[in-house]
Amino acid sequence: MTAAHEIYVVDDDPAVRDSLRMLLEAGGHAVRAYPDAESFIAEGMTGTGPGCVVADVRMPGLSGLDLLRILQDRDIDLPLIVITGHADVSMAVQALKEGACDFIEKPFDDSVFMAAVTKALSRSERAWVERRRLDGIEARANSLTPREYEVMVLVAQGLSNKAAAQELGISVRTVEIHRARVMEKMAADSLSALVRMVLELEESGRLVHDEDSAPV
């Protein structure tokens, strides 16, 4: 792992919480346990690093499926493993369809459980690394002046320096100067690298469009 991670156990059964905590801590993991989804939502969703959630699919109050939906609504990159009894397998299958990382039916083998946790943490780590990479691109883009940002977007759209100059009502030489500064500030070693970064910002919803305010 490239960053500290934490596992959140959410289960209304104290015996289950304690046994899972001991199992996970024996495997070298940092663990925080909660008796219900409401407690986890109130106290546990503040981590900024990779991790995962292990939650019973059926609990008083919010269910594991409800918790999954809340994580998704809040754009929190914490894969969720649901634990289910035989009578609740249909709920667990629904959770899987809606994006849960895995589900495990009680009683389960410790090795099966730990394998599911390893898979969830690996998924979280990849998402965390990708988000940090996009954060870096966005931070560099936000360091541009409004004019440099406009030039970057137009160049990434395939406009030549002359066409960008006409679009912005400035000289070709001024576009050339802005373009050079954009390449330097964005740490782009080629035009294709710059285009890929702009496309990634756009695909992730982080690109400022014409109708929005440009970065200051």
The full DSSP string for 28-91 is: T--EEEESSHHHHHHHTTT--S-EEEEEESS-SSS-HHHHHHHHHHTT----EEEEE-GGGHHH
Please count the other Cβ atoms lying within 10 Å of the Cβ belonging to residue 180: 12
pLDDT at 23: 95
**Residues 6 or more apart in contact with residue 188 via CB below 8 angstroms:** 182, 194, 197
Note the CATH number of domain 6-131.
3.40.50.2300
Read off the pLDDT band of 211 (50, 70, 90): very low
169 pLDDT more than 80: yes
Mean pLDDT of 112-122: 94
pLDDT grade for 1, boundaries at 50, 70 and 90: very low
Report the pLDDT value the prediction gives residue 92, as an integer from 0 to 100: 83
Residue 216: its pLDDT value, please? 42
Q: What is the mean pLDDT of residues 34-47?
A: 84
6-30 mean pLDDT: 93
For the record, the structure tokens of 3 come out as 């960053």
CA distance 200 to 136: 12
Beta-carbon count within 10 A of 70 CB: 15
Mean local confidence (pLDDT), 7-26: 94
The model's pTM: 0.75
Mean pLDDT of the region 1-25: 87
pLDDT at 47: 58
Helix (H) or strand (E) holding 19: helix 14-26
Give yes or no for residue 145 having a pLDDT over 90: yes
Predicted local confidence at residue 49, as pLDDT: 77
Residues 48, 6 contacting (CB under 8 angstroms): no
Confidence of residue 62 (pLDDT cuts 50, 70, 90): very high
pLDDT of residue 118: 94
Percentage of residues in the chain with pLDDT exceeding 90?
A: 70
Q: Average pLDDT over the chain, rounded to whole? A: 89
The class (CATH top level) of 143-203 is mainly alpha
Q: How far apart are CA 110 and CA 124, in angstroms?
A: 21
Question: What residues contact 171, with CB distance under 8 A and at least 6 apart?
Answer: 165
Q: What are the structural domain ranges in the chain?
A: 6-131, 143-203
